Structure 1
Amino acid sequence: MEEDKKMLSESEDYSKELDVAVRAMQMACLLYQKVQDTLVSKSRCNDKVLFKDENSLLTIAEWSVQAIVIWILSQSLGSENISILAKGDVQTLSKTNASELLEAVVKTVNECIAEAPRFGVQEYKSALGTLEVLELLSHCNSVEAPSARFWVLGPIDETSGFVNGDQYAVSLSLIEAGEVVLGVLGCPNYPMRKEWLSYHHSYHRIISMLTPTTSETWNKGCVIYAKKGSGKAWMQPVLHVNKKFVWPNHAKQVSISSIDNPALATFCETVEKANSSHSFTEGLALSVGLSKQPLRARSAMKYVALACGNAEVFMKFGRASYKEKIWDHAAGVIIIQEAGGIVTDVRGDPLDFSKGLYLEGLDRGIVACAGATLHEKIIDAVDASWSSSCL
């Protein structure tokens, strides 16, 4: 009985914070969707998007999302309780040569706040000024953990995917004493049918235009989330134009796959090559019997695929000089764990989120699996073949 009470108490913790974080990610997704649609439209008209245009729009969107997330958290939880580790801090935007950028950010932030009631967040009575937006962003730190309890906002994790209308994710998580206690991933383009995951993103866009998304025909886009101690992970559709958010917004529970046979398991292969070794992970997959066609997924999409049962294995082994940033993993880790999966380094130790921006002390890489059987096989295989990895 006491154990049941303890579990119930733990599952009730962070409920308010999770509710607010999900609404913040819904709002962030809508903003990013609008910017991505603009970039894709320009690309279609001009055959090419100028880097300056795409960089400027993306920069404005990222700063605006950062301010909006802090605004929502502050409105609901009190600004004195908010400290956040994020990509940029207020000093960058306060520079004299950033005045034009700041003006665009303030305009975008106010446009977003005007839509806040759709997300169940009370609209501010008057437009925010430049100083107020800078005050919001002053809660950010881009290098060190601000306090023992802090939020982590992950920027768009795959710029090329975003610009080309493909997959990307934005994340928000809460960390206490070095442990992730809640996490939310916003994935506006995630296809909600497993068979679509391996299709080219242009096909998804065509299907989406032919079959507009509603709560009944939920084809793409989700916010997926979990909190410590609940033993559950949930997914809900992203909010679309003219829709209103009503908690839990058609949420459904997701869970990991029950497959533990490597021959039947699907391995998530990274799209990005710069900071990991494809040849080593592919060889490792074959050595443990992961013979199915791999699922190519961008960054945080791999965590979503595992949590939804669309894949069973994700591995990432960075090159010696590369350090993993905590915002790329924090939300995904707790979602996988609460959905029933396992995420560790190659030693089998939990990831350490207590050291600020980077996952310090990471042993070789990250292994995420749907179950213990697959996890043990991969850990053993890494130990056996690491000397030939060239990492």
Structure 2
Amino acid sequence: MSDTIPYLREAYIAQLAVRRASLLTSKISEEHLQKGISKEDKSPVTIGDFGAQAIVINSILKNFPNDEVVGEEDSTLIKEKGIKDAIFQHIKAIQSKDQPFTEQLGHLTDGDEVCDIIDRGNSKGGRSGRIWALDPIDGTKGFLRGDQYAVCLALIVDGEVKVGVVGCPNLPHDLAKTSGPRGGLFTAVKGQGSYFQDLHKDVIYPFTKGERLSVKNEFDVSQARVVEGVEKGHSAHGLQGLIKQKLGIVQPSVNLDSQVKYCAVSKGDAEIYLRLPRVVDYQEKIWDHAAGYLLVNESGGKVSDMYGNDLDFGYGRTLNSQGVIAATSTTHAKIIKVIKSIVGENGEKLEEFCKK
């Protein structure tokens, strides 16, 4: 591995792991939809979440055994539901399909090992050391309906995000052409830019040989395209509507699940991602933002909380801030100014727009 690109090995292993986990989640999603299981049945999500987390953590610890992982899941529910063998069978099938990369990623051997590995995602985070933040399936409802979701992984070193990789199995290569090719692998390394490649092709090494991404900083706010979450419970859509009105944004928003929204901004398919809190004291989880944060920043954009402050990934498993704004550098300051004009410089009026 070349020494000229920092964190090159970490990025490559993360790409391979996220790609393998994305293959697993795609398999489970397709089988779930083919069988016609009701959307209320959470078993496909459970198996997909746990299987993806096991694959990624096992891959990370094989290569970087002293690193920590902040994972969303633990094995308690697996043991309660007695699904460890079902999860392992899906993992076994993907390991076989992805066998050429066993040397790099290793392989899991049974359901008990799956549980043990999943429980290694118990890091509390913090400001020192190497800590990986993992969301095995970001966008649960999108996953269930065969729509947008993502497998998200980021390396945080001494509180600073250094590597971010996002696998988007269902994302069109061009958001404006939904009938075209789908499936993207997004990679960013601090100081090296953000890159895109087809998720279904062999991982490009080094990642810098992929398609370099750049936000549309030439677009004024009047031309901006906005992406927002699908689920009303995840963001204050009423406040966001007022912000868009005051900014004079005329194009209708595109609603997408998961960190796919960060990917759309980094790729130039949108200029603004708004996520405003519905509960005043809600704290975002680091695994929901770390990889996407780096993707947008490294593609020439800016990500902050709703008051313009940088996000703090060294606080712990959560972000000690309110809201998230990801945007082009052209529009970001204008968005923050409008937000403050509505909720106050320090959020004095935010409670008016939130649940208590």
What TM-score results when the alignment is normalised by the length of structure 2? 0.88
The alpha carbon displacement at 1:50 in A equals 6.3
Residue of structure 2 equivalent to 1:87: 72
My pick for the range that moved more, 132-141 or 334-343, is 132-141
CA contact (8 A) 1:152 1:327 kept: yes
In 2, the alpha carbon distance for the partners of 1:299 and 1:60 equals 18
Instruction: Give 1:102's aligned residue.
Output: 84
4+ runs deviating over 6 angstroms: none
CA distance in 1, matches of 2:39, 2:214: 41
Residue of structure 1 equivalent to 2:44: 57
Q: Which amino acid letter does the alignment assign opposite residue 235 of structure 1?
A: F
Tell me the residue number matched to 1:227.
189
> Could you tell me whether the CA contact under 8 Å between 2:23 and 2:94 is conserved in 1?
no
Contact kept, 8 Å, 2:84 with 2:112, in 1: the verdict is no
- Tell me the residue number matched to 2:267: 308
Choose the corresponding residue for 1:115, options 86, 97, 100. 97
Distance 1:309 1:127 in 2: 38
Q: Corresponding residue for 1:390?
A: 353
- Give the drift of 1:357: 1.8
* Cα displacement (A) at 1:123: 7.5
Within 5 A, what are the aligned runs for 1:374-389? 374-386=331-343, 387=349, 389=352
Whether the 8 Å CA contact 2:236–2:277 is kept in 1: the answer is yes
How has the CA–CA distance of structure 1 residues 122 and 185 changed in structure 2, closer, same or farther, with 3 Å as cutoff? Answer: closer
1:357 aligns with 2:317: yes
CA contact (8 A) 1:317 1:366 kept: yes
* Equivalence for 1:3: none
Quote the offset at 1:283 in angstroms: 1.2
| Deviation digits for residues 254-295 of structure 1 (CA, Å, limit 9, x no counterpart) | 111123411111122321101321111111112112122222
Structure 1 counterpart of 2:242: 283
Q: Distance in 2 between matches of 1:123 and 1:302?
A: 28
Matched residue, 1:29 = 22
- Aligned-residue offset at 1:117: 3.1
- Residues 187 and 221 in structure 1, CA contact (< 8 A), matched pair in contact too: yes
* Residue type of the alignment partner of 1:365: G
Structure 1: runs of 5+ lacking an equivalent = 1-7, 197-203, 208-217
Root-mean-square deviation (CA, aligned residues, Å) is: 2.5
For these two proteins, the number of residue pairs brought into alignment is: 344
Q: Secondary structure at the match of 1:335?
A: helix
The whole-number CA distance in structure 1 between the counterparts of 2:35 and 2:88 is 23
Aligned-partner Cα distance in 1 for 2:21–2:224: 33
Choose the corresponding residue for 1:165, options 143, 146, 158: 146
Matched letter for residue 379 of structure 1: I
Identity of aligned residues (%): 31
Deviations 1:320-356 (A, max 9, x none): 1422111111000001011110001133211011122
Larger Rg: 1
Aligned-pair distance for 1:153? Answer: 0.7
Q: What is the aligned partner in structure 2 of residue 154 from structure 1? A: 135
Distance change in 2, residues 1:71/1:226 (3 Å): same
Shift of the 378–78 alpha-carbon distance from structure 1 to 2, 3 Å rule, reads: closer
Cα distance between partner residues in 2 of 1:376 and 1:245: 36
Unaligned segments of structure 2, at least 5 residues: 344-348
